[in-house]
Structure 1
Amino acid sequence: MSRVRGAAPAVVLVVGVLVGCAAIPTSGPVTEGDGVVREQEGVVVLAQGPQADADPAAIVEGFLLASDAEVTGDFEVTRQFLAADERTEWDPGASTVVASRTKVEQTGEAQVTVSVDVSARLDADGRYAEAPADARETLRYELVQDARGHWRIAHAPDGVVVTARRFEQQFRATSLYFLSPDEKMLVPEVRWFRDRNVPTAVVRALLAGPSPWLRDAVTTAVPAGAELKPEAVTLEQGGVAELTLEPAQAVQDADRGLLLAQLEASLRALGITTVHVQAGATGAPLEGRAADLVTPDPGELELLVDGRTLALVDGVAAPVDGVGAVAGAAPRAIARSADGSVRVALADASTLVALPVGAAAQRTLLTGAGLAAPSVDRFGWVWTARVSAPGRLDTVRLDGTTTEVAAEWLLGRTVRAVRVSRDASRVAIVSDGPDGTTLDVAGVVRDDDGAPVAIGPALRVGAPLTPTGPVVWVDDVTLAVLADGDAGAAPYLVTVAGRSTSLPAVADAVALAADRGERTLYVVTAEGELLRHQGGTWVAVPGVTGDLDVTGVAFPG
C-alpha cells in the first residue's frame, strides 16, 4: 500500500479578532486616509491536535505541522500524536531540519515515510550547516493503534522538521566570542538558537566552549567546568543582564576583564549592553570592566596597475609612497599587512615576491606552479598554495622563513584560493578534490611565537555553491566568493555557519576585495575594470574603470 500526500499548510489564527462590527459614521468631518493598508499585528500559528479517525499518513502529517508550529514551545500538542511511551522518548531538540519541500507517503499498514528536500540542518548546540543543492533525507515513522483504535506514532525520528519561513521567523543567529591565543582579539563563532530565552542559550553555549573545528585555534577566559546557576540569565531594564556562575572560586580566579569581554560581546547583538556576573550564589559580583581588545582599523583599498601599487583615496588613485613597481611577466594579486610593513604580490603565476619598499629591492619568497593569490595575517606570515604541491598550504615570512601547513582533510585536494581572517585564527580555503570544488573554513593552530603549524578540521560552508575563484572576508563572519551562477561566475556572500546569498553576476570577474561589509566589496574583471557593490548592483569606480588596467586589488589581509 502506498499513498502520497503533500504537507498541508499550518492553521493560522489572528490574535485580536474583531468583536462585533464597526458602524459607519453618518456625521462628523470628512477626513483623508493615508492609503496605506497595514498588516494585522500579533499573528500566531497554533498547532492542532490529532483528528478523530485520522489514518497513519494524516497522523504523521499533523505531527509535522504541529511540531513546525510549536518549534519554540514545549511541543505539548505535538506529543498528542505520539504513543504513550514515545511521548517521553522523542527528543525535539536533538536537531532541526530546514525543509524546502516534504512528501508524506504511507508505505505500509503501520508505516509512513516522509521525503524531505533539505535546505539546512541545525544540531542540538545551534551549529548550522547549509545543505548541498540536491540534499534529501528520508524519515520513517512507525505507528500503532491505541485502545480506542486511534493511530498514534510509536517511533518518530528525534528532532523537528521546519519550513524555511518558520526557521527565519523562530530562530536567531548570533555569535559566541572566544579569544585569540594571544588574548588580543575576539574570535566569533555563529550559532542559531530558537527565539526563546536566547540570552540564556548564548551563555550556556559560551560556557560549553567552541566547536571542534575551532577549538584548537582559540582560547577562552571561561573557567573549566563553569556552569550557569540558576540556569537562566535575568534581564533588567536598560539592557542589563545578570547571571551567576559556579564554581565560585574558579570564577573569582578567572581573568575577569577577558571573561566580561567575551560575555558582553556575545550578548551585545541581543540588545544587552551591561553584564553583571556573580561568582556563586552567595559570592560577590565580579568587579572591573571588560578588557579592551584590539579592533583593526578600516584599511584603504590598494590597486595593482602596470605593476605599480596605487591607493584609492576619496575616489582618486595615487601611487603609494615608497613602494616600487613589481618586476615580472604578469604582476597581479597584491596583499599587505595592516601596517604596510609586509607587501607581496605574484610577479607571475609561479613567483611570489616581496615588493620593493624604500631601499629594499624586490625579493622572491616562493616559487611553484599555479600559486594561489597571497594573504597576509596579522603576525606577518604570507599564505599561499601551489598546484604542484596538493594537500597543503605554504606560509613564508619576509626573512625567508617558510612552513608547510597541512591537515588530514586536505590530503588529495588542490588549494585554489586562501584567505586568513583578520583575527588570524581562521582561514577560508577553496579547493578541488574527489567531491568537487568546495569552500571550507578551518581554525589556524599556531606555536607560541605565532607561527602557523597546522589547521584544524574543515567546516564546509556555501555547500550549494561551486566556487570558481578567490575568496575574501567581508566581515568577521561573512565571506565573499566567486561561484558558478546561471549567467557565469557570480559573487556570493557566505555566512560561516549560515546561509549563502547571491549577488548580481559580473562578466569575467577574476578578483575580489572587501574590508568592512558589503559597501566595501569590490570586483575586478579580466578586462581590468574595477567595480564596487552599491545599492544591490555593481557600479564602475570613477577614475579607475576605463582609465586603468587593474590586475590586483586588496585591503589589508
Structure 2
Amino acid sequence: MTARTTQRTHRFGPRRMRGRLVAVVAAATLALAGCVSIPDAGPVEEGDGQVPDTNPVLPFAEGPQVGDSPTAIVSGFLTASAAGFASNFSVAREYLTPEASNEWDPSTRVLVFDSGALTPDWDEATNAIQYSVPVAAEVDSAGVLVESTDGTRVPITFQVVENSYGEYRISELDDGAVIAQANFDHLFLPVPLAFASMDTTTIVPDLRWLPQNNGPTWAARELLAGPSPWLASAVKTGFPAGAALEVDSVVVTDGIAAVQLNTESAGTPSQRSLAQEQLTRTLTTLPGVVAVTVTVGGVALGGDGSVALNPAPIPDGDAAAIVASRLGLWDGTQMWVAPDPEGFLPDSASHVARSYGGPTAAFLVNDSVLAASSAIRGGIESLEPMTPELAPPENAMEYTTLYSGNRLVGPSYDRQGWVWTAETSNNGQLVAVRPSGDQADIDARWLEGRTVQAVAVSRDGTRVVVLSREGGQQLAEVAAVVRTESGVPLTLGSPLSVGVDVTTAVDAEWINDLSFAILGEAQEEVPSSLWIATVGGETVLESATVGAKSVTARQGESSLTTVGEDGSVRTRVGTGWEEILIEVDDLEYAG
C-alpha cells in the first residue's frame, strides 16, 4: 500500500480547514478564536446533501471599554462583528458612530482569514487604521463563496474619531465583515440550494454558505432569489419573479419548517409543485428540519403534483475497462471481458467511457476517432472471466464511428446518453454525439485558442468541467450546459473558475453532485498531485499514485481509483492507495 500524504487540508465546511488559526493583534480576537473549537461531528455524507448539526459554541463579544485606544476599538469591533453572525450585530455597532452604524451592512461580503498574522498600520496623525488581510475566501451577500489563491491579501481600512465623551469610535469602514476560519466553520453552513434540470427531473445543487443563525430563513430567502448567475441558464425554478417571504422568518417547530410566501409566489400549478419540491429538498438538508409546509397568503401552496425531483444518477458498481485488447467490466472483484466473437480492439484504443443507461462503451481510436461498441451491452452475464491464459481474439472488433476530429480528448457520457469530446487545439467548441447519429456542436467561445486537456459532464447533466491551458497557465473551470427541454445541449454559459492553485493537470472526474477530482501530471518516482474541488466550496490538495494517468470514481472520495502508465489500477483504502489490478489499459465508471 502506498501511503497518502495530505499537502493541503480542508479549509471550509464541516471538515477540518487549512492552516493555523489567524491571530488578530488584539487579545479580544484571540479570545474569540479560542472559545470556538473545530467540530468533531462526522462529515457530510457524500451524495445525500445532508449537513451535520455541529452544535456550535456561540462566540462572546464585549462592547467598547472606557479609555480604549483606536487599535483596541478596531480589534474589538473585529471580534464583535464576527460574533454578530450568531446574533444581530448589536454589540459590533457599539464600536461605530451613529452615522456609521446606520450605513454599515455586514452581509455585503465576508472575508475569511487565511494563515498569517494581522498587523495594524496605525496613522496616529489621521487615526486611520489599516490591515492587510490574508484571505482564504470571500462570501458575497447571497452566500456564494469564491476561493482565493495562496498569498491573496485584501486591505481593509477603518477611520476612528473621538466622540463628545472623548471615546474613540469608528466613523468610516467598508461594508462586510472579517472572520477567522475556525469561527466561519462554526457559524456558517454549506447549504445546497435545490434547483431543477431543464427536463424537471433532477436536482441541481447550488452551494451557498449561510449563517447558522436563522439558517432556514437564509436558505429560503436565497432559494427564492434564484440560482447563481453562472448557473441560471441551465436550471429551472418554480418561483416567479416577485416571489418572496411574506414573513421574513422560517419557523421550525418539532422538525417542521413553516414557510410563508407572498401572493406573488403563486405561479402555475406545475410551478407550485416545483417550488414545493425545491423548498423541501433545500430545507431538509439543514439540521433539525425533517419536513416543510408552504403557504401563499395563508393558503397551502398546493400544485398539481407533476414534479418529483430525484438525485442525479450514481454510477453502478461495474466499471468499463480496456484490458488485453478487449472491452471489459470490472465489478470490484473480478474482471470480465468480451468473448472472442466480439473481437479485439485496435491497438490505439484508449480513454474508455461508460454510459449510465447500461454498459455500453465509447473510446478513442488514434486520438482522432470517437467510437462506440455494444460488446459489453449485455453486462457481466454476457462476458467471460479474464484469465492469464486467455488469448487475444482472432477477429477485429466492429465499432461505430461517432465523430472524427483532430486529437480529441477522452469522451464523457451524460445521463441523457450524449457522448462529449473536444479537440485539444480548440476553436471554441465542444461536441456531443449519440449512437443514433445526432450531433450537437456546442458553443464555448471562451475556449478558443486554448489547449483542452479533459472534459467531464456532471451527473445531473447541467454542468461540465473543462481542464485547459492558455499561455502556460493551467485552468480548471465549470460551465453551465444550456439544453432544450428534450435534453439537446446547445451552448455553454460563462465559465466559473474552480480548483485554485491547480498546476499542470491531465484528467478530471466528478465524484458526487458537487465535487470532482483533478489529476495532476505524472512525475517520475513522485506521486501525482490530486485535487478535490467543490463547486462553490473548497479545493483540497492530496497525493495520488506514482505514474497515474487517469482518475475515476463511483461515489465519493473513498471510491477514487487511478490507472497508471504501467497498467496498475489503485483504489483508495483508508488513508492510502492499494493496487487491485495490473495490466489494465484503462478503467472508468459511468460518466
Alpha-carbon separation, structure 2, partners of 1:446 and 1:13: 47
Give ranges in structure 2 of 5+ residues lacking alignment: 1-22, 36-54, 378-395
One-letter identity of the residue aligned with 1:81: Y
1:28 is aligned to none
- Does residue 155 of structure 1 match 2:178? no
**Cα drift, residue 290 of structure 1:** 8.4
- Does residue 247 of structure 1 match 2:263? yes
- Does residue 515 of structure 1 match 2:554? yes
**Cα drift, residue 138 of structure 1:** 1.0
Within 5 Å, which residues of 2 pair with 1:526-537? Answer: 526-537=565-576
Structure 1 counterpart SS, 2:280: helix
- Of 216, 237, 258, 2:274 maps to 258
Q: Deviations for 1:331-378, whole angstroms, at most 9, x for unmatched residues?
A: 221112212375210123333222354899313333344321110112
The 1:381–1:252 alpha-carbon spacing in structure 2 relative to 1, beyond 3 Å, is closer
1:11 is aligned to 31
Contact 2:270/2:304 (8 A) holds in 1: no
1:556 is aligned to 590
1:309 is aligned to 327
Q: Deviations for 1:432-462, whole angstroms, at most 9, x for unmatched residues?
A: 1248212111110013442211111212122
Between 333-342 and 532-541, report the one with greater CA deviation: 333-342
Within 5 Å, which residues of 2 pair with 1:151-550? Answer: 151-237=168-254, 239-247=255-263, 250-251=266-267, 253-270=269-286, 271-281=288-298, 283-284=299-300, 286=302, 291-295=307-311, 296=313, 298-299=315-316, 300-320=318-338, 324=342, 327-340=345-358, 342-355=360-373, 357=375, 361-434=398-471, 436-483=473-520, 488-541=527-580, 544-545=581-582, 549-550=583-584
2:148 is aligned to 131
Larger Rg: 1
Alpha-carbon separation, structure 2, partners of 1:484 and 1:360: 32
One-letter identity of the residue aligned with 2:501: P
Alpha-carbon separation, structure 2, partners of 1:44 and 1:199: 18
Contact 1:504/1:536 (8 A) holds in 2: no
The 1:249–1:468 alpha-carbon spacing in structure 2 relative to 1, beyond 3 Å, is closer
Contact 2:429/2:445 (8 A) holds in 1: no
Alpha-carbon separation, structure 1, partners of 2:315 and 2:151: 39
- Does residue 82 of structure 1 match 2:119? no
Contact 2:230/2:494 (8 A) holds in 1: yes
Contact 1:13/1:46 (8 A) holds in 2: no
**Cα drift, residue 320 of structure 1:** 4.9
1:53 is aligned to 67
Alpha-carbon separation, structure 1, partners of 2:209 and 2:225: 15
Between 431-440 and 161-170, report the one with greater CA deviation: 431-440
TM-score scaled by structure 2? 0.82
CA RMSD of aligned residues (A): 2.9
One-letter identity of the residue aligned with 1:521: L
- Of 95, 99, 102, 2:109 maps to 95
**Cα drift, residue 325 of structure 1:** 5.5
Structure 1 counterpart SS, 2:94: helix
The 1:115–1:232 alpha-carbon spacing in structure 2 relative to 1, beyond 3 Å, is same
The 1:252–1:273 alpha-carbon spacing in structure 2 relative to 1, beyond 3 Å, is farther
Alpha-carbon separation, structure 1, partners of 2:34 and 2:146: 33
How many pairs align?
Answer: 522
Give the strand-richer structure, 1 or 2.
1
Contact 1:309/1:324 (8 A) holds in 2: no
Give ranges in structure 1 of 5+ residues lacking alignment: 16-40
The 1:49–1:456 alpha-carbon spacing in structure 2 relative to 1, beyond 3 Å, is same
One-letter identity of the residue aligned with 2:327: T
The 1:7–1:373 alpha-carbon spacing in structure 2 relative to 1, beyond 3 Å, is farther
Alpha-carbon separation, structure 1, partners of 2:473 and 2:411: 23
| Identity across the alignment (%) | 32
TM-score scaled by structure 1? 0.86
**Cα drift, residue 427 of structure 1:** 0.7
Alpha-carbon separation, structure 1, partners of 2:493 and 2:502: 22
One-letter identity of the residue aligned with 2:30: A
The 1:469–1:322 alpha-carbon spacing in structure 2 relative to 1, beyond 3 Å, is same
- Of 68, 77, 84, 2:82 maps to 68
**Cα drift, residue 293 of structure 1:** 3.6
Structure 2 counterpart SS, 1:45: coil
Alpha-carbon separation, structure 2, partners of 1:260 and 1:44: 32
Between 243-252 and 213-222, report the one with greater CA deviation: 243-252
One-letter identity of the residue aligned with 2:262: E
One-letter identity of the residue aligned with 1:204: R
1:19 is aligned to none
Larger relative contact order (CA 8 Å, sep ≥ 6): 2
Q: Deviations for 1:46-85, whole angstroms, at most 9, x for unmatched residues?
A: 2132344333333222222222233322122212222221
The 1:324–1:348 alpha-carbon spacing in structure 2 relative to 1, beyond 3 Å, is farther
Alpha-carbon separation, structure 2, partners of 1:146 and 1:179: 54
